[in-house]
Amino acid sequence: MTSVEERFDCSRVKPNLVHLAVGSGFAAAVIVSHVQLVRFLDMSALVSISFFNLLFVFLLFPLEGSLLSKVCLLFAGNSVGVLWYLIQLSLKEASLFFLSTDTFKIINLVAWPLIDFVWIVSIWSLSLSVLASAKRKTEGLEQS
């Protein structure tokens, strides 16, 4: 087999179920802690952070890579989600001050879910890149 065929051979790759179980537990703990903070956070922030955790755990934790890096990336993603919510809250307050109520309601209805997807997709794709580069480094060390 050539190196390209070996690289795309998925028959030898098995999902890492231990990492998936640990990640699910960590994500559940994060979601429960955010439920406790719901009096400070908006429900939309809770929904977007929960969606990010589910997406991250079920799509990234089964992949190859160290468990510590996956947990750190998940924690960093949740931190970015909370910071993003605070920035979004500031924009919401400024928009309410400068725009009329009806215009604000339309913008809020359409834009805020789309804005949430910006940080979710960005952090998720950045995490994929980190895991892929770590895998390439370990493959390069094994070949040397």
Q: What integer pLDDT is reported at residue 38 of this predicted model?
A: 63
Contact status, residue 27 vs residue 74, Cβ threshold 8 Å: yes
pLDDT of 144 > 70? The answer is no
The domain spans of the chain are 10-143
* 48 contacts: CB under 8 Å, gap ≥ 6: 81, 85, 116, 120
Burial track 23-33 (b if 16+ CB lie within 10 A, e otherwise)? beebbeebeee
The 10s digit of each residue's pLDDT in 76-102 is 998 888 888 888 888 777 777 777 777
The 10s digit of each residue's pLDDT in 104-122 is 777 777 777 788 888 888 8
E-assigned strand segments in the chain: none
> Lowest-confidence range among 14-18, 36-40, 66-70, 94-98?
36-40
